[in-house]
Amino acid sequence: MKFNVASTLSYEVSEPAVFILNVEAAALRNQKILSENLELSPPVALDRHVLDGGTRLVRAVVEPGTFTVAYGATVALEMHDADPASVRETPVAELPLEVVPFLNPSRYCQSDKLARFAHREFGELAPGHQRVTAICNWIYEHVDYLSGSSDAETSASDTMVQRAGVCRDFAHLGISFCRALAIPARFASCYAWQLDPPDFHAVFECYLDGSWYLFDPTRKAALQGLVRIGVGRDAADAAFCTIHGGAQMTGMEVAISAAEEVGEGEPTVRAVGIA
Amino acid sequence: MKFNVASTLSYEVSEPAVFILNVEAAALRNQKILSENLELSPPVALDRHVLDGGTRLVRAVVEPGTFTVAYGATVALEMHDADPASVRETPVAELPLEVVPFLNPSRYCQSDKLARFAHREFGELAPGHQRVTAICNWIYEHVDYLSGSSDAETSASDTMVQRAGVCRDFAHLGISFCRALAIPARFASCYAWQLDPPDFHAVFECYLDGSWYLFDPTRKAALQGLVRIGVGRDAADAAFCTIHGGAQMTGMEVAISAAEEVGEGEPTVRAVGIA
Amino acid sequence: MKFNVASTLSYEVSEPAVFILNVEAAALRNQKILSENLELSPPVALDRHVLDGGTRLVRAVVEPGTFTVAYGATVALEMHDADPASVRETPVAELPLEVVPFLNPSRYCQSDKLARFAHREFGELAPGHQRVTAICNWIYEHVDYLSGSSDAETSASDTMVQRAGVCRDFAHLGISFCRALAIPARFASCYAWQLDPPDFHAVFECYLDGSWYLFDPTRKAALQGLVRIGVGRDAADAAFCTIHGGAQMTGMEVAISAAEEVGEGEPTVRAVGIA
Amino acid sequence: MKFNVASTLSYEVSEPAVFILNVEAAALRNQKILSENLELSPPVALDRHVLDGGTRLVRAVVEPGTFTVAYGATVALEMHDADPASVRETPVAELPLEVVPFLNPSRYCQSDKLARFAHREFGELAPGHQRVTAICNWIYEHVDYLSGSSDAETSASDTMVQRAGVCRDFAHLGISFCRALAIPARFASCYAWQLDPPDFHAVFECYLDGSWYLFDPTRKAALQGLVRIGVGRDAADAAFCTIHGGAQMTGMEVAISAAEEVGEGEPTVRAVGIA
């Protein structure tokens, strides 16, 4: 599947500012960037770095005035479907050790505090992809998706109490429950096909049966149409823009469309593996 | 400086358990392991992995019964002293981008929540190594070091309210304040020369002027005698042992001694750089 | 029903200390104190006060040395049974206004934070005594009763995340959910008949249909055998002893026995009203 | 001193709603209501109750449509000035026992969590009115007054971390520190003379030397011009309007003016006692 993605971010810079941007499609084995273009206006020199997980950081030092970041790319996703019933959990004894840090709690995913709940609610379920689906179903059924109900400080344990949030909060809860059950889980920001209205989206990935699999407890986007941008411990690792200095965002546009006809299928009953 | 370090951990295993151990000296450029020995009893097959930061993980699958982990090593530290007044902060515009994730908040270091305080208290101080020393002094003067006053869930924002903690809590506060001020900071567990009584210790490191520098707001150990074990975002990344399965720790011994005569100096007025 | 209750508290006082004690049976309309005795040793002058809710405070200024508080009483409870199905909720429009403050959140009962959950989980249930029973059942089924799992700082929102606690935590959750649903609720410490092992106990009361009714989500004691001691917003209002000065508790004994043969009945299917 | 106070609250009621209003000047010994008028439009039957602390509750059951509450009063304050240096703290051994509950932690004032800080920072200061002034000064100097920086869930321990808030947050911190030091403290909402722009205000009161004294750590209003409305444990006890049912506030106006010429004085160096 090929997708065209685009985003435009506009800022009013009041004093010299360092922008650390993360809007480009991540460098992942099964996410091929066929073409892309990043245009800063006014143009400024860039520093670039790809983090170990594939997240691509761009740094720009910007002088006062209007500043616009426009990104566009065509990306081919080579995801594989699997029968969820066949995707087992990988026992800790068999996990690649580089995946083990994704069992640790993080800023927004206090898997330690939520461990008793996770074990009580999901501990007796049969291990495997379907257990993570049960976790996603629980979140969907027990948390209200409500714009404005959370903010940049809201963590999974807050959401557990308040029972409302947006996509990042849903992902943080899912990650927390999985880690508590010894399932490695990480956060992914993305361009999300069919998300309405268009916006940056957040989902999570679990390491199951030798691959990372995608999960979206909000049920708002199609799993086969997720072009990932930032992949990390949680939202702290995947901000689309961090500014050191004086600047205000004045506009944001996000778009994604299929670059070819989309095949039919049964996406909702398939496990979508990504790496 | 050369040091002999040793630790012995004893467990009673009640059901098959996976141990993920992090007791070996980290693989760091300026921390040379001259000799080392890891002995598990009963002996079991090991998996090994070195995380990107140099933390060395060992995994062992252990059957019920008594289980003992004994580690010993001779390590040469090649730290460099610098005049603190000469160690500047590296502006975000000049930071190596791989260091940028150490500006992000983490499980125990909510630098986002503590940002206003950090800016109010330390924001006007001259940037540089001496500003981080001022942060350490503040922690030392405003937080009681008190065994048993915190637990595995205690984070920097908790410590900010409760004003008591142990070495890991002191480190978490220091890391949080530094990140809030755009100084990259990371956590390090270590064998700590002169720590009394001997135990695993926790300190933090800041990226300043092109190197990582060591800081210990507890003032309990000598900076030149810190043999680092786990280096990461915070204590979540540096547990000396994580167990999946049924086991109880029954004993722990930690030791460190100078393997050669220690040179005199003025350690408390010098900045100790480590990488 | 008549009960004999007794408690003995022993302290080692290291410097002059003010004790504020709350061990005497509360002064409540339907809880008649037939006889009682409070013996302090060494004897000290007392100040007494009965708070508006009926909680009886005793203040003693104690010199260094051993200090013992021994209380004993025979108390007649005049509780009434009702058919739970007949006990309706009192609409806010009809509540006595002096009861309205028991709708407010308090230190350990953040009914504001837990409001969305309470409405999602219990909001659609038919109002009345049986809805509060459903709340108690939920707590019993979703929270582990586990000594040592909470401390004096643990609040209902903590318990919601951690899913473990003791009697006071169970009561705090129940109070929080009820207040969120506009059901006035208050905390009661008590001597609890049939509690095993004997100890001070904590339950909660709801204002329903013109009376206060008792609820114990721990299911550890018989509702008809609760001799209440402190009645208030939450545990902050019902400490059996608060000490200003230097003293350590060295012993505590609590006892309760039926002073007459206990009538048979169906206590578990009856609503027990208390005022 | 006499003041004219007024407030007008406007609501759009979408479904039958119960309003519990607390806008009338409190019934306090030294706050004489010379005349007052409460006008509901459309007119509805009222229930009234005066809580033990003097807070006056009004309940109205309102049908859908526009609903307006207009209150006006002329109030004489009979406050007494004292030399702050002469106002001692009342030892716990001498406190009227009915005041003791104002030492307990409450929803927004976790004096238990903040106790170590309070003792470290203020514990060595000489007891008395001037110690509470030192507490107010600390708050003024260490917390930013910033509209929109807190919300209805923000408590004193949150403010301790975040270092920003509005008048209620400032009061909650002051109350918490005082209670931790065994100084009874309570919250008061009020009409505040000279507050700019006019609004409901929040301050706190401490029981010192036999009387309640007023403190305003925001320094935004004149202590002699505070017409108190709700007096209680914290803001949870002093909401100007609580609605059960469907209604939205559409407007609010608050006013206060001196009803006679105001005498000159040295208010900032005087302790203002109120009861």
Report the amino acid identity of residue B215. Answer: F
Cα of D58 to nearest chain C Cα, Å: 9
3-state secondary structure of C262: coil
- Res B221: pLDDT: 92
Q: What are phi and psi of A5, to 5 degrees?
A: -120, 155
Q: Which residues in chain C touch residue A172, judged by CB atoms under 8 angstroms apart? A: none
Ranges B60-69, B121-130, C2-11, C255-264: which has the least confidence: C255-264
- Res C197: pLDDT: 93
Name residues whose C-beta falls within 8 Å of residue B260's C-beta, 6 or more positions apart in sequence.
Answer: B1, B2
Residue bearing the bigger pLDDT, C266 or C17? C17
The arrangement of secondary structure in C2-78+241-258, i.e. its CATH architecture, is: Sandwich (2.60)
Q: Which of B113, B114, B162 sits opposite D113 (nearest CB)?
A: B162
- Res C271: pLDDT: 77
CA dihedral B171, B177, B181, B183 (to 10 degrees): 0
**pLDDT band with cut points at 50, 70 and 90 for residue B268:** very low
Q: Looking at the domain that runs over A81-237, which CATH code has it been given?
A: 3.10.620.30
Q: How far apart are the first and last CA of chain D?
A: 15
Retrieve residue B203's tokens. Answer: 């300190």
Retrieve residue D41's tokens. Answer: 């439009």
What distance in Å separates the CA atoms of residue C27 and residue C31, rounded to the nearest whole number?
Answer: 7
H or E segment and range at residue A164: strand A164-165
Cα of D105 to nearest chain B Cα, Å: 15
Cα Rg of chain C, angstroms:
19
Q: Is residue A266 over pLDDT 70?
A: no
| Inter-residue contact A55 to A230 (CB < 8 Å) | yes
Whether omega for the bond prior to residue C42 falls within 30 degrees of 0, making it cis, is yes
Q: Which residues in chain A touch residue B105, judged by CB atoms under 8 angstroms apart? A: 107, 236
Q: Is residue C145 over pLDDT 90?
A: yes
Cα of C104 to nearest chain A Cα, Å: 17
**pLDDT band with cut points at 50, 70 and 90 for residue A260:** confident
- Res B266: pLDDT: 43
**pLDDT band with cut points at 50, 70 and 90 for residue C40:** very high
Q: Does domain B80-236+268-273 have CATH number 3.10.620.30?
A: yes
Partner-chain contact A105 B152, CB within 8 Å = no
Q: Looking at the domain that runs over D2-78+240-258, which CATH code has it been given?
A: 2.60.40.2250
Whether omega for the bond prior to residue D197 falls within 30 degrees of 0, making it cis, is yes
Q: Looking at the domain that runs over D81-188+200-221+265-273, which CATH code has it been given?
A: 3.10.620.30
Q: Which of A120, A144, A161 sits opposite C161 (nearest CB)?
A: A161
Partner-chain contact D113 B163, CB within 8 Å = no
Q: Which residues in chain B touch residue A91, judged by CB atoms under 8 angstroms apart? A: 18
- Res D268: pLDDT: 43
Q: Where are the domains of chain B?
A: 2-78+240-258, 80-236+268-273
Q: Is residue C167 over pLDDT 80?
A: yes
* Inter-chain Cβ pairs, chain C and chain D, closer than 8 A: 84
Partner-chain contact D244 C92, CB within 8 Å = yes
Residue with tokens 């109880």: B248
Stretches where chain D sits below pLDDT 70 are 261-270, 274-275
Which chains have 3 or more CB–CB distances shorter than 8 Å to chain B?
A: A, D
| Cα separations in angstroms, C162 against A111, A170, C149, C150, D72 | 11, 19, 9, 9, 49
| Inter-residue contact D247 to D17 (CB < 8 Å) | yes
D74: Cα separation from own chain's centroid? 19
Q: Which residues of B59-86 are buried (b: 16+ CB within 10 A; e: fewer)?
A: bbbbeeeebebbbebbbebebeebebee
pLDDT tens string D3-29: 999 999 999 999 999 999 999 999 998
Partner-chain contact B116 D160, CB within 8 Å = no
Of chain C, the percentage scoring pLDDT greater than 70 comes to 96
Which chains have 3 or more CB–CB distances shorter than 8 Å to chain D?
A: B, C
pLDDT tens string A127-185: 999 999 999 999 999 999 999 999 999 999 999 999 999 999 999 999 999 999 999 99
Residue with tokens 């509360």: C26
- Res C188: pLDDT: 97
Retrieve residue B126's tokens. Answer: 């001259």
Retrieve residue A263's tokens. Answer: 């095949």
**pLDDT band with cut points at 50, 70 and 90 for residue A267:** very low
Q: What secondary structure, in 3-state letters, does A220-231 show?
A: CCCHHHEEEEEE
Q: What is the mean pLDDT of chain A?
A: 94
If you measure CA to CA, which chain B residue comes closest to A110?
B107
Name residues whose C-beta falls within 8 Å of residue B27's C-beta, 6 or more positions apart in sequence.
Answer: B33, B50, B54, B56
DSSP H helices, C20-87, are none
Mutate to test the interface with B, among A57, A97, A168 (most CBs of B within 10 A): A97
DSSP-assigned letters across all residues of D88-119: PPPPGGGS-GGGGGGGS-BTTB-TTTTHHHHH
Retrieve residue A124's tokens. Answer: 């007796």
Q: Is residue B248 over pLDDT 60?
A: yes
Cα of C20 to nearest chain A Cα, Å: 34
pLDDT tens string B82-116: 899 999 999 999 999 999 999 999 999 999 999 99
Q: Which residues in chain C touch residue A162, judged by CB atoms under 8 angstroms apart? A: 113, 116-117
Q: What is the mean pLDDT of chain C?
A: 94
Which of B152, C160, B58, B215 has its CA nearest to residue A104? B152
Q: What secondary structure, in 3-state letters, does A61-126 show?
A: EECCEEEEEEEEEEEEECCEEECHHHCCCCCHHHCCHHHHHHHCCECCECCCCCHHHHHHHHCCCC
- Res C269: pLDDT: 47
Q: Which residues in chain B touch residue A57, judged by CB atoms under 8 angstroms apart? A: 97, 100
If you measure CA to CA, which chain B residue comes closest to D156?
B161
pLDDT tens string C52-62: 889 999 999 99
Report the amino acid identity of residue D208. Answer: L
| Inter-residue contact B201 to B220 (CB < 8 Å) | yes
**Other CB atoms within 10 A of residue B10 CB:** 16
According to DSSP, the β-strands at D56-62 and A241-258 are unpaired
Residue with tokens 């426009």: A70
| Cα separations in angstroms, D19 against A109, D7, D44, D69, D153 | 39, 16, 11, 10, 21
Q: Which of D120, D161, D164 sits opposite B157 (nearest CB)?
A: D161
Q: Is residue A268 over pLDDT 80?
A: no
Which of A161, A127, A129, A164 has its CA nearest to residue A145? A164
Residue with tokens 């925001």: D218
Q: Is residue C194 over pLDDT 60?
A: yes
* Inter-chain Cβ pairs, chain A and chain C, closer than 8 A: 32
If you measure CA to CA, which chain D residue comes closest to C60?
D93
Q: What secondary structure, in 3-state letters, does D164-216 show?
A: EECHHHHHHHHHHHHHHCCCCEEEEEEEECCCCCCCEEEEEEEEECCEEEEEC
Retrieve residue C183's tokens. Answer: 């059901």
What distance in Å separates the CA atoms of residue A85 and residue A73, rounded to the nearest whole number?
Answer: 35
- For domain C80-223+230-237, the CATH class is alpha beta
Which of A69, A89, A68 has its CA nearest to residue A213? A89
